[in-house]
Structure 1
Amino acid sequence: MSDGAVIHLRRHGNAAGPRLVMSHGNGLAIQGYVSFWRQFLDEYDVILFDIRNHGENPPHEASAHNWQRFVLDFEELRDAIDGQFGVKPASGVFHSLSAVTAVLHADRFPGRWDSLILFDPPIYPRNGHPLQPVEDEHMDDMVRRAKRRPTHYDSPTLLAEQFKRRPEFRGWMPGAAEQLAEATLHHDERTGSWELSCPRELEARIYQTNNDLTVWTALCRPLDTPVSIIGADPEVENQLPSAGICEAVAEEARLPYCSIPGTTHFLQIEQPALCYEATLEALAGSLQCPELRSKNL
């Protein structure tokens, strides 16, 4: 990047196919979503990257870990993708942190994406919306949780077991906890331990600053880039606010929208096949929630 940070691009799939660019949520890594994105490899040219200070990227200065810099990274990455792999249209398929960043990027740098498909983005609700105080409370809780995370593990297996003990993660596909644990940790050769690739203080900072009112208003203007939203199931008990936020902003902005039945914020890990189908529908401009809800899980 222009400030010296290094972000690794990885290319998989069919180089002659339509291009999809994918990234992940806060504190996570795109390799942990492999059960989702590997479904596209026969037909699509799939470009993956981790947000700075995440996943496979080397650490960079903490002061540059903020939303404004993420937006600039997206712009520089968009140029780098064309420069490295050839110029052609690209659609972005982004989850959570990267999905919110994609809206900010599309608002500041119009015309860079053929389309955007956003998975359960925790968009900050507009002033006066009843979900705003709910989201404020949830983000405060996520800040506290992030700051309490262990920083070192003897092995990725221990983090995977930690994931499995969390009630909200019980819907994950077999092997997903192990995949995500390995993707979000790196091995420290000096100490022999495994450390969080994204330091907990930086993860907490993003939750704490996820309060940009312009994301909602940009979608309602609307953007010049076609946007579809695929959300978690708002009817799931003890669901996170992002599921209701996605439904609400899609209705207000009149965006194509569906929710994946029975899923939480980690929908691509819980129901990768349904998320794949929904993505194909969004790419074709035919995203319909009722059709997905009627399917047997």
Structure 2
Amino acid sequence: MQLETFEVEMNDGAPTVIRHHAKPGALRLYISHGNGFAVDGYRVFWELLLDDFDVVLFDMRNHGMNPATGADGHHYEQMARDLTTVHEKVEARLGASKTVGVFHSMTSRAAMKNAVELGCPYDGLVLYDPPSVPPRDHPLFDAMRGFELKLVSWAVERPDRFSLPDELEKIYSEARASAKWLPQARADMAKAVLKQDDDGYNLSCQRELEASIYLAALTLNLWPSASELAVPTKLIGADPEGRGGPPTGPANCALAKEGGYDYLGMEGVGHLLQIEKPEACREALYEFVGTL
């Protein structure tokens, strides 16, 4: 299994680091992450996919391995464009292949926007618990609005400098929101979202930029039907009843019913379902790609 790392440039000049785990002839998966996180933190989910798929891993701008490029372009409109650019430039380098976008949270929403407004470049999408905010008159709007506003407040006040990644891992271990993460995922994520400098480690995604994406979720006006995405799509949500988890679960359940999605609501999981129950999340992915 060969790993190749290279950079591609977005249309505004921002560089994106690509990690390609080659499996010639296999279905190509493009995998990315949620707001404030980084794709290497999802290793417990994607590592076992390397045996069967040609895998492209990448962080979104201002996240993970990518250099900081500031607030210019740090919004859903640009991130939607980035998904097309990544696909075009990677396919140009590696050769055309059948592709599926495997995205979580923020990147899932960017993929929805991309598909509706630009035309999805992928042959299929697997969207893990996008923060789907319904229209203002929807009965679940207030719950999702409150959820996003709490995240805005949390993000701008979160610790952003650490002596070692172990300190952030300890925070993940003690926080209620990450209590269900696998222990290995806590360690992986702490390393993945931090960059080292002369004074220690700091968050790759500046906390104010993270907060801006939570706030932007409330103004996207994006509640598309499955047919609007125009490619086969699997929507996989957190607990549909919201039992001990975020309102993203019930919101995605509602979106699936109203929008006609191929949908799985995973009982007993929270928003980071891929690193809480990676095996079940992989099983859902395998089942979906088997239909393409």
TM-score, length-normalised on structure 2?
0.93
2:111–2:120 CA contact under 8 A, matched in 1: no
The answer to whether 1:154 aligns with 2:160 is no
Give the partner amino acid of 2:115. A
Please list, as runs of the form range in 1=range in 2, the aligned pairs for 1:111-190 lying within 5 A after superposition.
111-188=120-197, 190=198
CA distance in structure 1 between the partners assigned to 2:11 and 2:193 by the alignment: 25
Give the partner amino acid of 1:196. L
1:13–1:40 CA contact under 8 A, matched in 2: no
Selected match of 1:235 from 225, 234, 241: 241
Give the secondary structure class of the aligned counterpart of 2:57: strand
The answer to whether 1:200 aligns with 2:200 is no
CA distance in structure 1 between the partners assigned to 2:174 and 2:254 by the alignment: 31
Give the secondary structure class of the aligned counterpart of 1:202: helix
Please list, as runs of the form range in 1=range in 2, the aligned pairs for 1:57-136 lying within 5 A after superposition.
57-136=66-145
Match of 2:262 in 1: 256
Deviation sequence 1:276-295 (CA, Å, 0-9, x none): 00111122239xxxxxxxxx
Deviation at 1:235, TM superposition (A): 3.5
Give the partner amino acid of 1:41. L
Deviation at 1:173, TM superposition (A): 1.3
Deviation sequence 1:159-212 (CA, Å, 0-9, x none): 000000012322111211110000000001x32x10000000000000011124
Deviation at 1:234, TM superposition (A): 2.5
1:50–1:57 CA contact under 8 A, matched in 2: yes
CA distance in structure 2 between the partners assigned to 1:275 and 1:167 by the alignment: 21
Give the secondary structure class of the aligned counterpart of 2:78: helix
CA distance in structure 2 between the partners assigned to 1:108 and 1:81 by the alignment: 21
The answer to whether 1:265 aligns with 2:271 is yes
Give the secondary structure class of the aligned counterpart of 2:234: strand
Give the partner amino acid of 1:205. S
Distance of aligned partners of 1:98 and 1:226 in 2 relative to their CA distance in 1, 3 Å threshold: same
Unaligned runs of 5+ in 1: 287-297
Deviation at 1:228, TM superposition (A): 1.1
CA distance in structure 1 between the partners assigned to 2:120 and 2:45 by the alignment: 26
Give the partner amino acid of 2:206. P
Selected match of 2:32 from 19, 23, 44: 23
Deviation at 1:134, TM superposition (A): 0.9
Question: How many residues are matched?
Answer: 283
CA distance in structure 1 between the partners assigned to 2:218 and 2:232 by the alignment: 23
Deviation at 1:236, TM superposition (A): 5.0
CA distance in structure 2 between the partners assigned to 1:276 and 1:116 by the alignment: 14
CA distance in structure 2 between the partners assigned to 1:211 and 1:75 by the alignment: 23
Match of 1:211 in 2: 218
Selected match of 2:231 from 225, 229, 251: 225
CA distance in structure 1 between the partners assigned to 2:220 and 2:69 by the alignment: 28
1:31–1:180 CA contact under 8 A, matched in 2: yes
Match of 1:275 in 2: 281
Deviation at 1:214, TM superposition (A): 4.0
CA distance in structure 2 between the partners assigned to 1:123 and 1:142 by the alignment: 14
Deviation sequence 1:112-134 (CA, Å, 0-9, x none): 11111100001110232111111
Give aligned-pair identity as a percent.
36
2:123–2:231 CA contact under 8 A, matched in 1: yes
Q: CA RMSD in A?
A: 1.5
21-30 vs 34-43, which moves further: 34-43
Give the partner amino acid of 1:176. A
Structure with the largest fraction of strand: 2
Give the secondary structure class of the aligned counterpart of 1:63: coil
1:30–1:49 CA contact under 8 A, matched in 2: yes
